[in-house]
Amino acid sequence: MYKYMRIQGREDSYITKYPKGIFSLCWNLIRDQLLTAEEEKLFLSIDDWFKNNLPEPETCRNHEKVITFFKCGYTDHMLKKLEPAVSLLDKYNRSYDVVYTNFVGTIVYEDAWQIAVSVDHGKMI
């Protein structure tokens, strides 16, 4: 049984040098003006739901060099909420991986649903 899960792309974040997470990948779709107005509205509603229902780690708000993982077993309903965002990545041929692991670096934030881990030069510390 795995402890943590992350949906990540294959291009690195300019901040962490680690693969971008699903929210960054979808924000890139908006930035690149690929989404229809309806798709953009859908993603924004998903983003809003997470902002309203999941604490945003201070380290993320401060744009520190961290990545986040969902805790397995506690977040099934959240992953269901992400399915339309994953479908957008599929539709627009954006590569991503679903990563399951028990091994993360230094946890700098933790709540009931997620962790944030320090990274440096694209590697978990």
Please state, for a pLDDT cut of 70, what percent of the chain lies above it.
100
Helix axes 76-91, 37-53, angle to 10 degrees: 160
Q: Which of 14-18, 51-55, 84-88 has the highest mean pLDDT?
A: 84-88
* Closest alpha carbon to 89 in 15, 16, 39, 19: 39
Domain range list for the chain: 4-124
Q: Give the chain's mean pLDDT.
A: 94
> Which residue did the predictor score with more confidence, 55 or 101?
101
Residue 60 CB-density burial (10 A; 0-12 exposed, 13-18 middle, 19+ buried)? middle
Give pLDDT tens digits for 27-81: 999 999 999 999 999 999 999 999 999 988 888 888 889 999 999 988 888 899 9
Structural tokens at position 44: 């924004």
pTM for the model stands at 0.92
Q: Which residues contact residue 42 at a Cβ distance below 8 angstroms, ignoring those fewer than 6 apart? A: 84, 88
Give DSSP secondary structure letters for 21-77: EHHHHHHHHHHTT-S-HHHHHHHHHHHHHHHHHSPPPHHHHTT-SEEEEEETTT-HH
